[in-house]
Chain A
């Protein structure tokens, strides 16, 4: 009897694609789970006396939980935290969403300028941004309130020390993320669906709500989740504008536990973080429910399409004035306060007397500092590595989660999101403890900073790539693959070009967070790896707000120029290549 043999290619697991995917998944899961394990484990340990961790098998206790939740105030703070995060999310969604729509789907003039301006709040140092807003909204001396008083009113119009003011300031700070994520999604949207609605007799409002909004659902879900979780961990605004008047949130409690008590109450901070983590888990669960239906929202298929801009007609100049006025009040005014501060020896409100103190001394001092070039070089390496590396990693994860969907992929998706809810300082300590013991020589180098920031901002990077990828139908990749293109070639020649706007926006966003956020670098830096965020903090703490203002202005100008260049380079690319 003749043996039956199977013809055709032999299946092998060890393809380039699978090796890349397995390595990436293992890398992400390992590095994302470690901070979580660190947090959970040590929240049940008595980490006192300035120790950050205890990995012994004994001495488990609930002391940290008891200390953290013994006070009924803690539950009030939980309410405040939730209230603050929701309000912030709403402001960011409304503001960022409207501007994104106007820039991406209408013929509003000055769109490149608006695009560049949207980055300003991202790079302004948090403490200084909060103080700039206090100088604008303070009920006693706020510039805007003084203008109000000059009109004859006696009661202040704004109160910097209130929850609505905190929503406004934090919401505006976060609106760039909404702008970039929704903007990328709007740019990718196939307008033929909207045109079909018009043809069927629907008016613009009906089309907006019944077609456009529905197509935007994955992006809206992504960005809402991010806004909410970011709102939970926001510190500077609640610290400067809220805690003074008793509006306490969990982030301020964590700050107090880590920064005010001596020795720091790491255990208590870890416990507060776990509640934030639980809320983030809830968000991820809801998000995954929405995304499981994302096939319905696919808009880019193999069929050609051409995104079209809505003609605003006679409303065009008016809309431009509206947007620019809004951007002026929201972004440029605090930046002007920052620029003003950078010209002075100490904080002063604008006046004739203050004008006499204006000079460029802070800038001269900054450029004359011997370590300034080192800081800039380190920052450039860190930012570029995190921006590029983070988006490539995110793309591969998104491809697995949205395209490949192997068994257990939700675990990878959730793991990639977890670092979002782990406080930066806990993440930094977990990396410190890990790499002090591993025989991988990156402790004390710039690469441990790269790795820690990359993992911390991977959740944001993946939201950009998830959103972008969920809007591209797989038939494009299938067609390429059936024509013999390799996995790498499909990524390089199909997906990356199509996703370019999302990748660039996401890359710039995590790059800027990396440049600005202090907590990770503070734990892991050395004199040879000093970066911008630590430099800002030290200038702030030792010198004054004014040198920080000068440094921030330099960075805002540089990074705004970078975003405009990036925007120019990606214009006419990405999704539009299909047309």
Chain B
């Protein structure tokens, strides 16, 4: 299995416990995944059985003919947030919110709305990340500007430009290093952190907390069966396991993140956290997404707003 963002351990153990005659090997790749799999397929070298990747990248693999249709018996496409076809399922998600260091900012002082981020009191104390374009695209959807007809970038762009101009955050790369600087106290507030890394830090007792926003943007991860998989039967067993209620619960808990599986969501930690805090997630429907729009989102976030 090839995964864009794998947290090893429990899923392998659970899968191998269920199928002791199978060994799950995970190639955990970052942005190199697409390039590598595309070149392997061009050379007719089929090394991969199952691919798990952010949905915007999965769309491209489908377009390249690398993913095959599969019925996903444990996860019909009639369930919410699923594509109408059978190339993949959206199974887990990342959501994005401001996160602050609780030793430097009290709950009362923490920002409560996105507009609160556009405040001069964060000058020298805040950090954002160049890697948050997906969050920005989700934010346009949250603002009602991303529809099936297209995107009006203006409102969300204006908000983030105002935040940039007022809070003057430092600009990091990725989500890990900037949040580590917040944990260490070098910065007090990360304007757009991801739930998976924050949840991991919270589990370790790090002094961070989500800003209490009522609605936050999100982006889905997806799972699909590769075309010509070298271990076809085992690949199907793995997909069936991960998309089962038990499997997805383990996967979501390990990441740790929320799941889109309706039954597993009833007990997944992150789903329950969102519910308890009354946080709504805004995830653009799959049919709203296309490559041109997402490329534009990258450009606006990185070049227009962050000026990088």
Contacts and interface: CB of A to CB of B under 8 A. Distances in A.
Interface in B118-176: 124, 127, 130-131, 133-134, 170-174, 176
Interface in B26-51: 26-32, 34-36, 38-40, 42-43, 45, 47
B201 A346 contact: yes
Contact of B133 (A52, A53, A262): A262
A538 interface: yes
B35 A264 contact: yes
Given A262-B57, A264-B31, A544 B201 contact: yes
A107 B232 CA distance: 67
Interface string B173-208: 110110011011111000000000000110011100
Nearest to A248: B308
B233 interface: no
Contacts of A50: 34-35, 38, 57, 60, 64
B35 A141 contact: no
Q: Which interface residue of B39, B205, B294, B298 has the most chain A CB atoms within 10 A? A: B39
A52 B185 contact: no
A73 to B, nearest CB: 8
B206 A349 contact: no
Interface stretch (A131-139, A458-466, A467-475, A561-569): A131-139
Given A263-B60, A346-B204, A346-B206, A425 B32 contact: yes
Contacts of B32: 425, 522-523
B302 to A, nearest CB: 7
A261 B39 contact: no
B6 interface: yes
B147 to A, nearest CB: 21
A541 interface: yes
Interface string A520-537: 001101111000000000
B181 A134 contact: yes
Given A131-B181, A263-B34, A425-B32, A239 B39 contact: no
Nearest to A71: B303
B25 interface: yes
A255 interface: yes
Given A141-B185, A240-B177, A542 B7 contact: yes
Give the residue among A262, A357, A546 with the most B Cβ atoms within 10 A.
A262
A545 B200 CA distance: 12
A51 interface: yes
Given A264-B35, A346-B183, A49 B25 contact: no
A263 B295 CA distance: 8
Secondary structure of the A side of the interface? helix
A136 to B, nearest CB: 11
A259 B34 CA distance: 12
Contacts of A134: 181, 184, 186
Nearest to B7: A542
A78 to B, nearest CB: 15
B177 A127 contact: yes
A259 B308 CA distance: 14
A52 B32 CA distance: 9
Contacts of A527: 25-27
B56 interface: yes
B194 to A, nearest CB: 11
Contacts of B183: 346-348
A541 B298 CA distance: 22
A540 B177 CA distance: 9
Interface string A37-73: 0000000000001111100000000000000000101
Given A432-B39, A544-B201, A260 B173 contact: yes
Given A135-B186, A256-B173, A263 B57 contact: yes
A543 interface: yes
Interface stretch (A94-102, A207-215, A436-444): A436-444
Given A52-B38, A345-B204, A259 B170 contact: no
Contacts of B177: 127, 131, 239-240
A357 B206 CA distance: 11
Given A161-B170, A264-B31, A347-B184, A244 B127 contact: yes
A436 B57 contact: no
A270 interface: no
Contacts of A433: 39, 43
Contacts of B64: 49-50
Contact of A258 (B28, B31, B124): B31
Interface residues of A, number: 62
Interface string B205-221: 11000000000000000
Contacts of B6: 538, 542
Contact of A347 (B31, B127, B180, B298): B180
Contact of A239 (B170, B173, B180): B173
B289 to A, nearest CB: 11
Contacts of B60: 49-50, 263
A478 interface: no
A365 to B, nearest CB: 10
A345 B291 CA distance: 40
B15 to A, nearest CB: 14
A243 B184 contact: no
A167 interface: no
Interface string A109-145: 0000000000000000001000100110010110000
B170 to A, nearest CB: 4
Contacts of A180: none
B204 A544 contact: yes
A568 B64 CA distance: 56
A262 B294 contact: yes
Contacts of A51: 35, 38-39
A128 to B, nearest CB: 9
B138 to A, nearest CB: 14
B178 to A, nearest CB: 8
A244 B36 CA distance: 30
Interface in A230-269: 239-240, 243-246, 248, 252, 255-256, 258-264, 266
B186 A140 contact: yes
A543 to B, nearest CB: 7
Contact of B173 (A259, A437, A540): A259
A429 interface: yes
A493 B235 CA distance: 57
B173 A436 contact: no
A246 B26 CA distance: 37
Nearest to A443: B45
Give the one of A245, A436, A437 with max B CB within 10 A.
A436
A436 B308 contact: no
Given A243-B172, A347-B180, A429-B35, 8 more contacts: A73-B307, A244-B127, A261-B295, A345-B206, A346-B201, A436-B42, A528-B25, A538-B28
Closest 9 CB pairs of A and B: A50-B34, A244-B170, A436-B43, A527-B25, A52-B35, A346-B206, A345-B204, A347-B184, A141-B185
Interface of A: 49-53, 71, 73, 127, 131, 134-135, 138, 140-141, 161, 239-240, 243-246, 248, 252, 255-256, 258-264, 266, 345-349, 357, 371, 425, 429, 432-433, 436-437, 443-444, 522-523, 525-528, 538, 540-546
27 contacts: A51-B39, A71-B303, A140-B124, A140-B185, A141-B185, A239-B173, A240-B177, A256-B302, A259-B131, A260-B131, A261-B295, A262-B31, A262-B298, A345-B206, A346-B201, A347-B183, A357-B205, A425-B32, A429-B35, A432-B39, A523-B32, A523-B35, A527-B25, A542-B5, A542-B6, A543-B200, A545-B180
